[in-house]
Structure 1
Amino acid sequence: MNTAISQVNRLFVSYAHADNKLFDDAVKFLAEDIKGFYAAKTGNELSVFFDRESIGWGDDWRSQIDGELENAAIFMPVITMQYFNRPACRDELNAFNQSARRLNAQYLILPVVIAGANSIRADHPIPEVATIEALQFRNLEEAFLAGRGTAEWRRALSGLTDELIQLIFRAELAAPASTSSEHPDGAPDTGPDDDSDFLTSIGEMEHLTPVLTQEVEQVLIDLNVWSEVVKENSSRMRSGLTAQQMRGVSIAVADQLKRPSEKLHDSGVQLANTVEKADAVMSSILEQISQMPNREERDAFKRLVVGAQGPHDLREVVDNMADLLDSMVPVEVMSSPLRKALRPARIGITKIQDAVRVVDRWGKAL
């Protein structure tokens, strides 16, 4: 049997399924052609994964990310503005970004924008949009409009593959010279990789826990203020008003809602950001705990972090606020000022929901 000299690297593609449908499977073709260019340019294989199921991570997907990044896997979010409406997409982007930040490996995130590039800006109210801008996205709009097989498509994907190759090379140079998990005497190491790293992670979580508590309290205050303003003004948006009357009322209500909505946006985004940082720390802690030699020791260390499970108090409250926001949709449709005033609150509530969903994962892991 001949021995193959090629080697395998991994690419994780994150995308909204609606975008792949919109572009007639072009996201799938993007991955296929990058794989082909990669083989042609390096002689090596690129394993491409489209979702958590195909990569085999299952429910424990979050804990796998650090290891993937340490092994020079590339995370490629394929972006349109629909991407940011999908909770799974936001979760993947935030999880990879926070882990990469802790590992000083954000260069392993290679965002590709296929529609909506003009909307990607640093001051966008959706924090994930600002993240994509900060990660210096690659604009492939023209290539996607030209379509697969065109010169524009081939040039764009050839250039993207060149960049991907350089990123993998950079990561491999930065990797430790030895990944042996044995002690000098040859005995296997069944505990955490580095006790000092483990204690550092515990210290990080201890620092973040009171911050989370304070931010949850602020979110609850802002949710309450916002909901009271909505309830106080909802009766003003009654049926039977003329178009002119409805416009006057909606402008007045929008003015009342503007500041509470902005505050809810800011506190919701801040909470989600802190939870995402804590999630990267928690993932590292749980991964190191899983390597401990016996169950009693693992359980003892889990008890150290169980108190950091965070904003459970928010779950029912934020669900009620989301229902209240949904009840405003018929009125929003008829009022541009009201849509503008409610948009920050809609983003803030969404980010609080994201934070609760992340913390729920901790509970399952513990």
Structure 2
Amino acid sequence: MTMNPSPAGFWSYTHRDDEIEEGRIRRLASKIANEFEGITADEFDVFIDKKDIRWGDEWRKRIDSALNGSTFFMPIITPRFLKSEECRREILTFIGHAKSLGLQELLLPILYFDVPQLREPDSSDEVVALIAERQYVDWTKLRLEDEDSPAYRKEVNRLAVRLVEIIEQTAEVEPPPILLPDSTDAEDEPGMLELMADAESALPGWAQVMEDFNVTVREVGERVTRANEESTRSDARGGGFAGRLRIMNELSKDLKDPVDRMSQLGNDYSAAIVKIDPGVLGLIRMVEEEGVTAENAEQVSNFFAVIKSAGSQNRFMVESVQEFANTLTDTSNLSKSMRPIIRKMRASLQHFMDGKAVWDEWERRISEVSEGLNLT
């Protein structure tokens, strides 16, 4: 008989934030775990140090096969958290698995430093949007309290009680039907092959967005190159710094339209991939649990190959575009008029980098499932 895993929480934060707080973020995790144990007499296993191999091993084990109503992901939300590639990857990975099982409540964000973006309606940052739609815990004022103060201890208790309540509420949650862009109504109960066809039909749209993004990046690159050439000619004519400044100001205006397109393409891409993520993960889990027959083995293998191929294309695009974005850093330092343009470009690139995290998780699960089912 398989025993259910003990209650656990994965604590996600940036080490610099904890350093600034002189260890208070890590201590908060321990206080919540101790309070939970005092209330329930059950140990609450908190995974804090991501450098510890046990954190990674348990993380993969739980999200793959043991993510139930007692495994929480507790990100400590700060401005630095939202800039951390690792932290963003973790939150996207967890919520995809949680939604595929109908267990969104297991994502329990703690707002530690104020993040104005969370108050913006319909944020284009998919990670901010995911946090905003959850009932996050606001710790921005409590972090200023003494850790032994009644107010601080009361809120630690309140949070521990909330964990207990969520465990009780999710104990009988049934996984929702797998939903993909072209799925029929849930009542029709589409089978594995129909679901794979639905997922596969979404890929051309993403491929087109990536191609359009690449075309726009090339357009930006050509305009930057022309501006650099003009700067060289201006220097030869003795234009000096005034000549360079004029060219940079003209370039910032020239880049507005293509950079706006980049921003919209990034928004479209991230919105689509975050929406379909739970369905693809649910489909992979269905293949793992139901296995493959002689009749559908080839279709399953082909579908997995298509996902992996698309993921490789996404990874290549992100790496090449990121390299290009890095070359623009010097340009932004030359003129303040270029800084908003570069920030917007980097923000649009972030959407594709987040998408890479989702694709990587699909590929990881596909590799594990393929190996377990001896699929070629």
Range of TM-score over shorter length:
0.7 to 0.9
* Match 1:216 to one of 207, 228, 238: 207
Greater shift in the superposed pair: 296-305 or 97-106:
296-305
CA deviations 1:146-173 (Å, max 9, x no partner) are: 3533444323322222222221221125
- The count of corresponding residues between Structure 1 and Structure 2 is 339
Provide the rounded CA distance (Å) in 2 between the counterparts of 1:73 and 1:311: 28
Report if aligned partners of 1:70, 1:175 keep a CA contact under 8 Å in 2.
no
Listed as ranges, the matches of 1:76-95 within 5 Å are 76-95=74-93
CA deviations 1:132-189 (Å, max 9, x no partner) are: 112132221222233533444323322222222221221125469xxxxxxxxxxxxx
- Is residue 2:280 matched to residue 1:289? no
Provide the rounded CA distance (Å) in 1 between the counterparts of 2:157 and 2:35: 6
Report if aligned partners of 1:91, 1:354 keep a CA contact under 8 Å in 2.
yes
- Is residue 2:49 matched to residue 1:47? no
Structure 2 portions without partners, runs of 5+ = 176-186, 371-376
Report if aligned partners of 2:92, 2:358 keep a CA contact under 8 Å in 1.
no
* Match 2:17 to one of 12, 16, 19: 19
Deviation, 1:313, is 2.8
**Closer/same/farther in 2, CA of residues 53 and 273 from structure 1, 3 Å limit:** farther
Report if aligned partners of 1:99, 1:280 keep a CA contact under 8 Å in 2.
yes
Provide the rounded CA distance (Å) in 1 between the counterparts of 2:83 and 2:288: 34
Partner of 1:38: 36
**Closer/same/farther in 2, CA of residues 269 and 71 from structure 1, 3 Å limit:** same
CA deviations 1:270-305 (Å, max 9, x no partner) are: 323433444433433333434457897996564152
* Match 1:108 to one of 106, 109, 130: 106
Please tell me the residue identity of whatever aligns with 1:213: P
Deviation, 1:82, is 1.4
Report if aligned partners of 2:33, 2:44 keep a CA contact under 8 Å in 1.
yes
**Closer/same/farther in 2, CA of residues 99 and 363 from structure 1, 3 Å limit:** closer
Deviation, 1:329, is 0.9
The normalised TM-score by structure 2 is 0.77
Please tell me the residue identity of whatever aligns with 1:135: R
Provide the rounded CA distance (Å) in 1 between the counterparts of 2:146 and 2:215: 49
Please tell me the residue identity of whatever aligns with 1:264: M
Provide the rounded CA distance (Å) in 1 between the counterparts of 2:189 and 2:289: 11
* Match 1:236 to one of 209, 223, 227: 227
Provide the rounded CA distance (Å) in 2 between the counterparts of 1:19 and 1:291: 41
Partner of 1:74: 72
Provide the rounded CA distance (Å) in 2 between the counterparts of 1:344 and 1:165: 42
**Closer/same/farther in 2, CA of residues 55 and 316 from structure 1, 3 Å limit:** closer
Report if aligned partners of 2:96, 2:281 keep a CA contact under 8 Å in 1.
no
Report if aligned partners of 2:6, 2:70 keep a CA contact under 8 Å in 1.
no
Identity across the alignment (%): 19
Deviation, 1:245, is 4.7
Report if aligned partners of 1:216, 1:271 keep a CA contact under 8 Å in 2.
no
Please tell me the residue identity of whatever aligns with 2:318: V
* Root-mean-square deviation (Å): 3.3
CA deviations 1:313-338 (Å, max 9, x no partner) are: 34333322211211111221343332
Provide the secondary structure at the position in 2 that maps to 1:104.
Answer: coil
Deviation, 1:34, is 0.2
Please tell me the residue identity of whatever aligns with 2:355: A
Provide the rounded CA distance (Å) in 2 between the counterparts of 1:197 and 1:87: 39
Listed as ranges, the matches of 1:341-360 within 5 Å are 341-360=341-360
Partner of 1:166: 165
Provide the secondary structure at the position in 1 that maps to 2:7.
Answer: strand
Deviation, 1:57, is 3.1
The normalised TM-score by structure 1 is 0.79
CA deviations 1:82-122 (Å, max 9, x no partner) are: 11222222122112223333333222211101113333233
Provide the rounded CA distance (Å) in 1 between the counterparts of 2:94 and 2:323: 30
Provide the rounded CA distance (Å) in 2 between the counterparts of 1:357 and 1:117: 23
Provide the rounded CA distance (Å) in 2 between the counterparts of 1:28 and 1:245: 53
